[in-house]
Structure formats: C-alpha cells, structure tokens
Amino acid sequence: FSFTLFGFIYFAVNEAFERVASQGLMPNMILYLTRIYHFQTVTASSILFIWSALSNGLALFGAFLSDSYLGRFRVIFLGSFSSLLVSPL
C-alpha cells in the first residue's frame, strides 16, 4: 500500500463511521422528541429534517472556511485526530 491509498482508506472509513453514527441518532431522537417533549410525530420529523439539512449543509461551509484558513492537510489531520480522541475504544 502506498501512503496515499492508506490515507484515502482511513478517510473513507472515518467518514462512513461518522455517517452511521449520525443516521443511528435519528430514531432515538424521534422517540425522545415524541415521548419526552410530547411533540407530534410530524413536528418531530420536521425538526429532525431541518437539523439534518443544516448539519449537512453547514459542513460544506465549514469545510470551505477551514480549508481557507488552515490548509487542506492540516484540517484532515486535526479532524481525524479529534475524532479519534473522542471515539470510544
């Protein structure tokens, strides 16, 4: 394996785990909003739709800003390292 291929595989796996965690949160949040906050299912799903759209859309804006000020490789390193620090082992 070359370093570039290993870096791509690491980055792809890191992104896949982040997506799985984000999608796994949705059913729990629906239950929380309907049972604890007593929202109707339509209202709870609308809130989660807006949250998902904003979190995915603002990620592009944040990526543009961070790449502009810190540089692409430094951002990838810091993001992967911070993700590693907070992940349960």
pLDDT digit string (tens) for the chain, length 89 residues: 456 777 778 778 878 888 888 888 899 999 999 999 999 999 999 999 999 899 888 888 888 888 888 888 888 888 888 877 877 65
What does the pLDDT read at residue 2?
A: 57
Q: Tally the C-alpha atoms within 13 A of residue 25's C-alpha that lie toward its C-beta.
A: 10
Nearest C-alpha neighbor of 55 from the set 83, 17, 18: 18
Cβ atoms of 67 and 75 closer than 8 Å: yes
pTM exceeding 0.85: no
Cβ atoms of 26 and 16 closer than 8 Å: no
Alpha-carbon distance 65 to 58, whole Å?
11
